[in-house]
Amino acid sequence: MTLYTREQKATDKKILPLRPENIPDELKVRPQWVVWKAVGEKPDKVPYSARTKRKASSTDLLSWSTFEEVLEAYQAGGYAGIGFVLSSGDPYAGVDLDRCRNPETGEITHWAIEVVNGLDSYTELSPSGKGLHIISKGKIPKSLKRDQLEMYCTERFFTVTGHVVEIERD
């Protein structure tokens, strides 16, 4: 089995551009979206409300927007990307796999391939192109944060790129 991505490169200093056409409609219809700015060297991803232009909160639904509102704000400029807010009112969990992909070659580590195969859900590249984000239907008992793996189902926002990761089965 081989995991691959098409024409998806990001360097250390570059953030992948948004591909909104690839984001699942079942996420787009939910008013749980924010835009974000890249702050600092790492960079940190700071969420903002597309409506108020003020910092958004992953626990305050009044600071979230529709997909159309965040897409318009992103396209107008000033933001590095968009994100989906995981909340107790939705059926989703998010899995963040860090440092599991070489952005130059597209090669993904074996452990990350196993996670992707096991969840069999919407999977895309992180903004840096060095990691993967998975949004899956389901809940987890509590949030988990380990060295290269994080899992959340509420009170977090997940950056969304639309750079879909596909699995080719042998």
- The predicted model gives 105-130 an average pLDDT of 95
Bigger pLDDT: 13 or 91? Answer: 91
pLDDT confidence of residue 166: 87
Specify which residues 133 forms β-bridges with. 96, 124
Q: How does 153-169 read in b/e, with b if 16+ C-beta sit within 10 Å? A: bbebbbbbbbbbbeeee
Q: How many CA atoms lie within 13 A of 2 on its CB side?
A: 7
Residue 4 lies in a domain: no
Indicate which residues carry an active-site annotation.
96, 98, 133, 150
**Is the pLDDT assigned to residue 95 strictly greater than 50?**
yes
pLDDT confidence of residue 13: 59
Residue 162 lies in a domain: yes
Residue 64 lies in a domain: yes
DSSP 137-150: E---SS-EE-SSEE
Mean of pLDDT over the chain = 91
Cβ-Cβ contacts under 8 Å for 143 (sequence gap 6 or more): 150, 151, 152, 153, 154, 156
pLDDT confidence of residue 5: 38
pLDDT confidence of residue 169: 58
Using a pLDDT cut of 90, give the percent of the chain over it. Answer: 85
- The predicted model gives 87-107 an average pLDDT of 96
pLDDT confidence of residue 12: 42
| Domain enclosing residue 128, as ranges | 22-168
The type of residue at 67 is F
In total, how many domains does the chain have? 1
pLDDT confidence of residue 2: 34
Residue 15 lies in a domain: no
- The predicted model gives 18-43 an average pLDDT of 96
Two tokens, residue 113 = 């391939």
CA–CA gap between residue 24 and residue 16 (Å, rounded): 18
Residue 103 lies in a domain: yes
Angle at 43 between CA 46 and CA 48, to 5 degrees: 15
Residue 7 lies in a domain: no
Residue 1 lies in a domain: no
| Whole-prediction pTM | 0.90
